[in-house]
């Protein structure tokens, strides 16, 4: 039975440089995963494929079939184009047949249906936070007359803040947002149940430093950003930012600027804060952290300030170029392909490669490289590999 692999890529160019849309309160729970969902279905998985317009599918053959393959062909290239490696690019809605023909006279035909693309959700590109249950979170947020929309739970042991909203019984059981944090060294972050009572954009801290978007919840304990040496957004202590996810504070709960701002914006006074220790799996997991590679840059990468040099940066993929090879020459699709994230860290291991190049068969092959970093920002490079008959 043939296997159909659906590749999570879009054919249209990603809007990598568009980060100007500001955080709006009517859409504060974008779902990063919703924008890349593909689907494959059919009564017989061996010969039926369903692909969203703008996505790709990779049809694979057995080792013997690969040896016997003469060519792939689509009956309607306007619906689905197929390259020499069996990669389908879904170009227009409709149906078509894609056929693999073999030197022994046999053939295998896949019936391909290209469906309308799914609506794209806004993706947060200024935070590493994990979000979920967006509709309920927004509904409860706008229904403040009933009860406060959120409860904040801080798992001190795992340095993770998870925000919950209430279920139909009024209990705060539905996780909506997870944010990485840094609690106090030597367990200086006090355990217990508290409530938020004060918010401010800038807060003076111990040792003549300052925190942004502070929310007080117990005595001198606050949610606040990593320290700044002055009351300006370009004086971040980058080495302290790189400690997020580890114990680092004197007792406060440190987070990235965007996550602290979220609490200021959406968690009003009297919001309950529970701090506890647990080894149990986190409801939404713990987000990735992103490090600042160049610590001379005094900006938090999550800050939306228009002067922030990270504001329009995205990951960068290097080494992806169109190639022409002589048949029989050894070739590996990932050789020489590297990537760095928004902050300049090596993320080559996160590159996803979509394509199937057979250097022993003449043809034209398409290969796509994509990478997404901890800030949910992506990069994409498409190349064409042409394999020619040996001269």
Q: Are residues 148 and 181 in the same domain?
A: yes
- Digit-coded pLDDT (tens) for 217-242: 999 999 999 999 999 999 999 999 99
Q: Are residues 251 and 328 in the same domain?
A: no
pLDDT confidence of residue 17: 38
pLDDT confidence of residue 276: 98
pLDDT confidence of residue 46: 57
In a domain, 243, yes or no: yes
Residue 14, pLDDT > 70, answer no
Return the CATH number at 172: 2.40.440.10
Q: How far apart are CA 58 and CA 88, in angstroms?
A: 6
Q: How far apart are CA 286 and CA 292, in angstroms?
A: 19
Q: Name the pLDDT band for 369 (thresholds 50, 70, 90).
A: very high
Backbone angle region of 284, left / alpha / beta, with phi > 0 → left and psi within -120 to 50 → alpha: alpha
Residue 98, pLDDT > 70, answer yes
Closest CA to 199 of 134, 271, 110: 271
pLDDT confidence of residue 186: 96
Residue 15, pLDDT > 50, answer no
In a domain, 302, yes or no: no
In a domain, 76, yes or no: yes
- CA 274, 33, 309 angle in degrees (round to 5)? 80
Range of the domain at 138: 130-276
- Digit-coded pLDDT (tens) for 259-306: 999 999 999 999 999 999 999 999 999 999 999 999 999 999 999 999
Residue 198, pLDDT > 50, answer yes
In a domain, 109, yes or no: yes
pTM of the model: 0.85
Contact 313, 290 (CB under 8 A): no
Domain count for the chain, please give it: 2
| First and final C-alpha spacing in the chain | 37
Q: What is the mean pLDDT of residues 186-212?
A: 97
Q: Are residues 238 and 192 in the same domain?
A: yes
Q: Are residues 140 and 268 in the same domain?
A: yes
Sheet of 192-195: strands edge to edge? 130-131, 172-180, 160-166, 150-155, 272-276, 192-195
For the chain, give the percent of residues with pLDDT over 90: 84
Return the CATH number at 325: 2.60.40.10
Q: Are residues 155 and 97 in the same domain?
A: no
Domain boundary, last residue among 249, 276, 303:
276
Q: What is the mean pLDDT of residues 96-106?
A: 96
Q: Are residues 135 and 116 in the same domain?
A: no
- Quick one: how many helices (H) and strands (E) in the chain? 4, 24
Q: How far apart are CA 197 and CA 76, in angstroms?
A: 64
pLDDT confidence of residue 308: 98
Contacts of 105 (CB under 8 A, 6+ apart): none
Q: Are residues 19 and 47 in the same domain?
A: yes
Contact 273, 152 (CB under 8 A): yes
As to burial, measured by CB atoms within 10 angstroms (0-12 exposed, 13-18 middle, 19+ buried), residue 294 is exposed
pLDDT confidence of residue 25: 39
Q: How far apart are CA 125 and CA 273, in angstroms?
A: 26
Residue 29, pLDDT > 70, answer no
Domain boundary, last residue among 276, 302, 335:
276
- Digit-coded pLDDT (tens) for 53-90: 999 999 989 999 999 999 999 999 999 999 999 999 99
Range from 36-50, 124-138, 174-188, 294-308 carrying the lowest mean pLDDT: 36-50
pLDDT confidence of residue 22: 31
Q: Are residues 221 and 242 in the same domain?
A: yes
In a domain, 113, yes or no: yes
Contact 191, 256 (CB under 8 A): no
Report residue 317 CA to chain centroid gap: 16
Q: Are residues 51 and 71 in the same domain?
A: yes
Residue 13, pLDDT > 70, answer no
Q: How far apart are CA 20 and CA 18, in angstroms?
A: 6
Rg of the Cα trace of the chain? 25
Closest CA to 148 of 308, 297, 13, 273: 273
Q: Are residues 109 and 172 in the same domain?
A: no
CA dihedral 331, 334, 338, 342 (to 10 degrees): 150
Report residue 29 CA to chain centroid gap: 14
Q: Are residues 112 and 146 in the same domain?
A: no
In a domain, 374, yes or no: yes
């Amino acid at each position: 039975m043939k296997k159909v692999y659906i590749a999570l890529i879009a054919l249209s160019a990603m809007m990598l440089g568009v980060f100007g849309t500001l955080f709006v309160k009517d859409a504060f729970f974008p779902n990063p995963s919703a924008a890349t969902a593909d689907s494959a279905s059919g009564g017989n998985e061996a010969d039926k494929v369903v692909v969203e317009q703008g996505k790709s599918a990779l049809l694979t053959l057995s080792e013997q079939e690969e040896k016997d393959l003469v060519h792939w062909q689509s009956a309607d290239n306007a619906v689905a184009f197929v390259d020499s490696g069996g990669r389908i690019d879904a170009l227009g809605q409709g149906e078509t047949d894609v056929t693999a023909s073999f030197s022994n006279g046999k053939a295998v035909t896949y019936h391909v249906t290209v469906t309308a693309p799914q609506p794209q959700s806004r993706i947060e590109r200024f935070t590493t936070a994990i979000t979920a249950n967006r509709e309920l979170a927004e509904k409860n947020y706008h229904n403040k007359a009933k009860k406060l929309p959120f409860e904040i739970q801080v798992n001190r042991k795992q340095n993770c803040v998870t925000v919950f909203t209430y279920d139909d019984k009024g209990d705060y059981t539905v996780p909506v947002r997870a944010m990485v944090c840094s609690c106090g060294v030597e367990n200086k972050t006090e355990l217990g149940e508290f409530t938020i009572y004060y918010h401010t954009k800038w807060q003076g801290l111990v040792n003549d430093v300052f925190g942004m978007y502070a929310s007080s919840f117990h005595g001198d304990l606050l949610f606040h950003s990593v320290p700044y040496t002055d009351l300006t957004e370009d004086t971040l202590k980058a080495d302290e930012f790189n400690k997020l996810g580890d114990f680092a504070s004197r007792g406060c709960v440190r987070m990235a600027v965007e996550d602290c701002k979220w609490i200021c914006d959406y968690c009003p006074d009297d919001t309950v804060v529970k701090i506890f220790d647990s080894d149990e799996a986190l409801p939404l997991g713990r987000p990735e952290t992103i490090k600042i590679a160049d610590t001379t840059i005094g900006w938090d990468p999550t800050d939306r300030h228009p002067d922030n040099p990270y504001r329009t940066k995205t990951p960068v993929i290097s080494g992806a170029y169109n190639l022409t090879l002589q048949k029989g020459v050894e070739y590996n699709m990932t050789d020489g392909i590297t990537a760095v994230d928004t902050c300049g860290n090596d993320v080559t291991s996160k590159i996803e490669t979509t394509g199937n190049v057979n250097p022993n068969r003449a043809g034209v092959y398409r290969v796509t490289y994509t990478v997404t970093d901890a800030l949910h920002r992506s990069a994409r490079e498409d190349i064409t590999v042409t394999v020619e008959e040996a001269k």
